[in-house]
Structure 1
Amino acid sequence: MEIKYSDKIPHINSFFTLYESTGWNEDAEKTKEDLYEAIKNSWYIVSVFSDEILIGFGRVISDGKLHAFIVDLIISPEYKLKGIGTEILNRLVDYTQKAGISDIQLFCANDKKEFYLKNNFIERPLNAPGMQYQIY
């Protein structure tokens, strides 16, 4: 099994299969085309393949100068806990830092918090919480 990392956009069907494995699309019900348009508009991506099968994906959206936001970091369930998520995160952060951006943000589920803390992210202070506007 050879693991390959790429900054190329994966095939629409491969990405949709990986994305569906997260359960994130259950409420939003986005189409393959919607999701693919979103990743095409990303500032930087990392795709991970094992024998030509997409097993991991991460992406950043950014203004390219001041702020960057990690919006997806997905690992196929059978490839979790093998260091792939850490490698994707490192590549996203490195690319962002090389562009001179020092403000990198993300949201994560409570059960993923330790992963990001272990990788040098810090929690926002309770007196400075993030906000979100959601339409469903």
Structure 2
Amino acid sequence: MVEVIYKTNLDNVDWHQMKSVLRADAFDNGRTAAQLKKSFENSYATCIAYADNQIIGTARVLSDGVCNAYIVDVWTLTIYRRQGIARTMMQILLDKLNGQHVYLFTDDAPEFYKKIGFTEQPVGMAQVIGKWLVNE
């Protein structure tokens, strides 16, 4: 098994590589490499997993630093799934959120999140303001 390195800083992230691997693994929501960079830089905390200097996982959290946090962009490259990588990234982020209400949205992995202590909430709502990813 290959060694996985978890980084919580954004030093030397290859944003074009991230964009490419997300697209190739069908986890691309349309952000450009520059938008990915801005998204991660504006986060409260981040975790990027690497194997052989290649990005194989991401997770980040948005937070007010006091009482509310929202976990987004949790992804593990398909060939590395079910090896504890997402669980480790989540734990790294959750360790930074003591005392906060942590929320996330998932439509394809609820059982995974239940296993690490999340409970389903009865109502969630969303709205896109303007056109998706057009915010300048």
TM range (shorter): 0.7 to 0.9
Unaligned runs of 5+ in 1: none
Question: 2:45 touches 2:62 (CA, 8 Å); kept in 1?
Answer: yes
User: How does 1:53-68 map onto structure 2 within 5 Å?
Assistant: 53-68=54-69
Q: Is residue 30 of structure 2 the alignment partner of residue 12 of structure 1? A: no
2:46 aligned residue:
45
SS at structure 1 position matched to 2:47: strand
Q: CA RMSD in A?
A: 1.4
2:86 aligned residue:
85
Partner Cα distance (2:27, 2:96) in 1: 28
Question: 1:18 touches 1:74 (CA, 8 Å); kept in 2?
Answer: no
Q: Please report the TM-score for the alignment, with normalisation by the length of structure 1.
A: 0.85
2:100 aligned residue:
102
Q: Please report the TM-score for the alignment, with normalisation by the length of structure 2.
A: 0.85
Name whichever of 83-92 and 12-21 sits farther off.
12-21
How far off is 1:51 after superposition? 1.3
Amino acid at match of 1:114: E
The alignment covers a number of residue pairs equal to 126
Unaligned runs of 5+ in 2: 132-136
Q: Between the two proteins, what is the percent identity of the paired residues?
A: 29
Amino acid at match of 2:111: E
Question: As a proportion of its length, which structure holds more helix?
Answer: 1
1:133 aligned residue:
127
Amino acid at match of 2:35: D
Runs of 4+ in 1 over 3 A off after TM superposition: none
Query: Which string of whole-angstrom CA distances, capped at 9 and with x for unpartnered residues, describes residues 21-40 of structure 1?
Result: 23342xxx322211221111
SS at structure 2 position matched to 1:48: strand
Amino acid at match of 2:95: D
Name whichever of 49-58 and 6-15 sits farther off.
6-15
